[in-house]
Amino acid sequence: MDKILIIDDEKNIQVSLASILEDEGFKVYFASTGEEGYEKFLNLRPDIIFLDIWLPGIDGLETMKKILNDDKFQVIVMISGHGNITTAVQAVKDGAYDFLEKPLSLEKVLLSVKKGLSYKKVLDENKRLKTIISQNTDDLEDTKSLKKENTGQIQFEIDNAEYLKKQKTVERSNIFYGIGLHSGEKTGMSISPLPVGKGIRFENISSPGYIPARIEFIDRTNYATSIMKDGLEAKTIEHLMAVLHAFGITNLAIKITKEVPIDDGSATKFCKFIRDSGIVEQDDYIPEIVIKEPIVIGDESEDGKFIKVEPADVFTVKYTTVYPEPLGIRSHEIVLNSEEDFENDIAPARTYGFVSEFNKLSELGLVEGGRLNNFILIDNGKVLNTELRFENEMARHKILDIFGDFYLLGRPLRAKITAQKTGHSDNAEMVNAIKEKYLT
């Protein structure tokens, strides 16, 4: 029976939480102060702790630090009736798994417990994996499928062990916040590890449920990539997805308000964010999608608009932009031999747009968060507001978008992608074509 410790000085909170959790089969314990809660933690070693921020004596944040100093893997859900975004951010930065506002709802409490227990399993798995010596994988040559009995775990059929990649997640929760490029609103994002086979999923800070980061749930591709499911939205996901693609992250929960923060328009800080969260290889594999023959969408002529995928030994992307001089025709190609290739060559390339499009974007309710420091502004072939980081920065940014959009396949891809004058909608069309040919 899973043990849950409630540290809160309000009796009505203790009673209401206990009634919810005991009905679900959990063993519930109580403490009314930080000191008492710490002692019970030491004696009980609970699976999850619900911890109020406002406590007599040492407050909840200090109590959490004491607990995590003793066991950095303890799952703690902070609760408060007087919280704000700053408090929530601080709690998560200090090591809390989740943050709930009072009054507590049955739905949110049970969702937090379910996810917290899943998170604990990942932590336990990570601790175990760190003690295992690298295993010889030669015997995988005869493996024909990877299947798990766990409910909800994705199953894969494979033909060749050469195409297997280790599944990966992050070691710990982390938080990132800023503004949304298209909404213009302050937005935050937290990430948490997931077990093998769960995939990448987007969640909403205040609503239950999640959206799998897959092409089936694509909603909009005009100027950014957004996905939707059962009323939940995740907007402008392509830069973060590109980093997860390059770093090989396959299982991750991403909680946002509605839009992923834009930062400076590039993916550089997302790379640091994922590295700071710790990258963990998991005890299972995911097969690549291996392109066997070319697929072309559009006109491959010298001045045409097209996107093509074809066989390759390593994931490779080449993109050509065609704009008036002095920007002119620019190309870039990356062969992804390591995440550092992406981090150095592609991640720094920023979002860009044209003055001529701004009225249209504004009418659509987009680019409200565009700032002089997070958006390359172009007019008549000239950059108005910044110095380019690369002569071909626009081509590199288009490659960044391709990395993100193509990861909506839900699996790594072994192919070369060549594109010219294309955007998110064309990427989505090609991803759907690959899905129809190789995943159905």
Side-by-side strand order, sheet with 186-193: 174-179, 186-193, 252-256, 200-204, 211-212
How many structural domains does the chain have?
3
121 with 204, same domain: the answer is no
Asked, for residue 150, whether it belongs to a domain, the answer is no
How would residue 155 be classed by pLDDT, with cut points 50, 70 and 90?
A: low
> For residue 371, what is the domain's CATH number?
3.30.1700.10
Mean pLDDT of the chain: 84
CB 437 within 8 A of CB 314: no
Q: Give dist(CA 146, CA 165) in Å, integer.
A: 12
In the numeric block, the tokens 């008549």 are attached to: 380
9 with 48, same domain: the answer is yes
Q: What is the DSSP letter of 297?
A: E
Beta-carbon count within 10 A of 294 CB = 12
> Which domain does 63 fall in, by range?
3-127
Asked, for residue 34, whether it belongs to a domain, the answer is yes
CB 423 within 8 A of CB 357: no
Give the strand pairing for 316-322 and 416-420.
parallel
Domain boundary among 235, 267, 286: 286
Q: What is the DSSP letter of 81?
A: S
Q: Give dist(CA 422, CA 247) in Å, integer.
A: 24
Condensed to tens digits (0 to 9), the pLDDT of residues 363-403 reads 444 444 444 556 788 888 888 888 999 999 999 999 999 99
In 3-state terms the chain splits into helix, strand, coil percentages (rounded to 5) of 35, 30, 40
Condensed to tens digits (0 to 9), the pLDDT of residues 348-371 reads 999 998 877 765 554 444 444 444
The number of helix segments (H) and strand segments (E) in the chain equals 11, 27
248 with 355, same domain: the answer is no
Asked, for residue 434, whether it belongs to a domain, the answer is yes
Asked, for residue 148, whether it belongs to a domain, the answer is no
Of the candidates 311, 279, 271, the one whose C-alpha atom is nearest the C-alpha of residue 294 is: 311
CB 253 within 8 A of CB 115: yes
161 with 279, same domain: the answer is yes
> At residue 157, what is the residue type?
E
How would residue 239 be classed by pLDDT, with cut points 50, 70 and 90?
A: very high
In the numeric block, the tokens 């909404």 are attached to: 183
14 with 104, same domain: the answer is yes
Condensed to tens digits (0 to 9), the pLDDT of residues 298-331 reads 999 888 999 999 999 999 999 999 998 888 999 9
> For residue 229, what is the domain's CATH number?
3.30.230.20
253 with 303, same domain: the answer is no
351 with 248, same domain: the answer is no
Tokens representing 170? 């992050």
Asked, for residue 141, whether it belongs to a domain, the answer is no
Residue 295 makes CB contacts below 8 A (sequence gap 6+) with 308, 309, 310, 430, 433, 434, 437
pLDDT value for 105 = 81
> At residue 224, what is the residue type?
A
262 with 352, same domain: the answer is no
**Residues annotated as catalytic (active site), given as ranges:** 424
